[in-house]
Amino acid sequence: MRNRYRFIAVILVVFVGILTTVLSFAEVNERNADSDIQVQNVSVQETNESGTADTTGSAVQAETPADSQNISSGISKSSYMCFIGTSSLLSSQSGIKAFTAKCFNEAAAKAMKKAKEEKEILQPPAAEPEVETAVWPDPSKPMVALTFDDGPYGPVTNRILEKLEQYGGHATFFVVGNRVKTYASSVQRAVQAGCQIGNHTYDHKNPLTKLSTVQIQKQIHDTDVAVAYYAGSAPVIVRPVGGAVNDTVKSAVGKPIVNWSIDTLDWKSKNAASVTSKVLDHVQDGDIVLMHDLYKSTADACDTIIPELTKRGYQLVTVSELAQAKGVSMKNGEIYRYLRTQAG
Ligand code: ZN
């Protein structure tokens, strides 16, 4: 009776060994052309003296062709080993179950581990964390707002813009409304360069202090329209003609009023060296510098001023950038001559 059981067990084990080996080789071929793998439960049934026992191989799922090959070859090798190993274990049939399970489990675990490692190697490296762009202007460093009135005037405005572009600086151009159409390309270039366009009345004929509220509003409005049409948006700051302000002007302009702390008198001297020293000898953090982009001498002065201020560590900013960096919230009708960090 015992020999009969042994004979049945031998037949079964040999049969299962052959079957699993054949299936595994077939599976390798099949999986080579397939990106998914599912090694389904492999059941081994064995009858021994104590009755019927089930051994179920673990199910393995992998996602890539590389994984599937590794796992398939792992399973096929294990099946072969099982087949060979059974002959030496037949004398202790109770070990068959443990041995078979061990073969499958170890092989599957090994294959999964290898596949996991290779998958990790194959994965592209994690993207570099985005480097935060430096804040500009840096509030901890000095800055100055160069401003140019009475333009635009292509031959001079463009030279100043060229120098600003070269040094990555910004400036503010308080334009006269009726000149905007003629030099629209200069206005557009200024905007492109990160510069600000301010409102300097439409025809620059009279100081605003000599006009009525309606006349003041028309001067501001018409310039807003011209700038918005050619540059994309209306100015948010005003510089009155000659900086002249009274209560009527303050209430009529409807925007913050920007005057200056350094007057280069470039219109008077028309001398580049004089303009240059007016700026470089007096400049301090938060200054607003008055110039006019009408004179060749002013453009010549800027060829020195812009590089020198940059070299000294000044950030060349627009008026609005200066206000923001200094934490100043500009109010309509208020006059600003400089913008420095508020005390307290
Ligand atoms: Zn002016």
Task: Give me the catalytic one of 170, 200, 204, 292.
Answer: 292
Cα–Cα distance measured from residue 316 to residue 170, given in angstroms and rounded to the nearest whole number: 5
pLDDT value of position 38: 40
Instruction: Tell me if 143 sits within 8 A of 289, measured CB to CB.
Output: no
For residue 258, the CA-to-ligand 1 centroid distance in Å is 12
292 classed as catalytic:
yes
Residue spans of the chain under pLDDT 50: 21-22, 25-92, 94, 96, 99-100, 103, 344
Enter the pTM of the model.
0.63
Instruction: Tell me if 317 sits within 8 A of 297, measured CB to CB.
Output: no
For residue 149, the CA-to-ligand 1 centroid distance in Å is 5
For residue 174, the CA-to-ligand 1 centroid distance in Å is 8
Cα–Cα distance measured from residue 144 to residue 260, given in angstroms and rounded to the nearest whole number: 11
Which tens digit of pLDDT belongs to each residue from 245-288? 999 999 999 999 999 999 999 999 999 999 999 999 999 999 99
For residue 264, the CA-to-ligand 1 centroid distance in Å is 13
pLDDT value of position 119: 59
Which tens digit of pLDDT belongs to each residue from 23-58? 554 444 444 434 333 433 333 333 333 333 333 333
For residue 204, the CA-to-ligand 1 centroid distance in Å is 7
Three-state SS annotation for the chain: CHHHHHHHHHHHHHHHHHHHHHHHHHHHHHHHCCCCEEECCCEEEEEECCEEEEEECCCEEECCHHHHHHHHHHHHHHHHHHHHHHHHHHHHCHHHHHHHHHHHHHHHHHHHHHHHHHHHHHCCCCCCCCCCCCCCCCCCCCEEEEEEECCCCHHHHHHHHHHHHHHCCCCEEEECHHHCCCCHHHHHHHHHCCCEEEECCCCCCCCHHHCCHHHHHHHHHHHHHHHHHHHCCCCCCECCHHHCCCHHHHHHHCCCEECCCEECCHHHHCCHHHHHHHHHCCCCCCEEEEEECCCHHHHHHHHHHHHHHHHCCCEECCHHHHHHHCCCCCCCCCEECECCCCCC
For residue 33, the CA-to-ligand 1 centroid distance in Å is 79
Task: Give me the catalytic one of 67, 149, 150, 293.
Answer: 149
pLDDT value of position 110: 72
Separation in Å, CA 269 to CA 12, 42, 67, 172, 194: 112, 98, 81, 22, 29
149 classed as catalytic:
yes
For residue 270, the CA-to-ligand 1 centroid distance in Å is 15
pLDDT value of position 4: 65
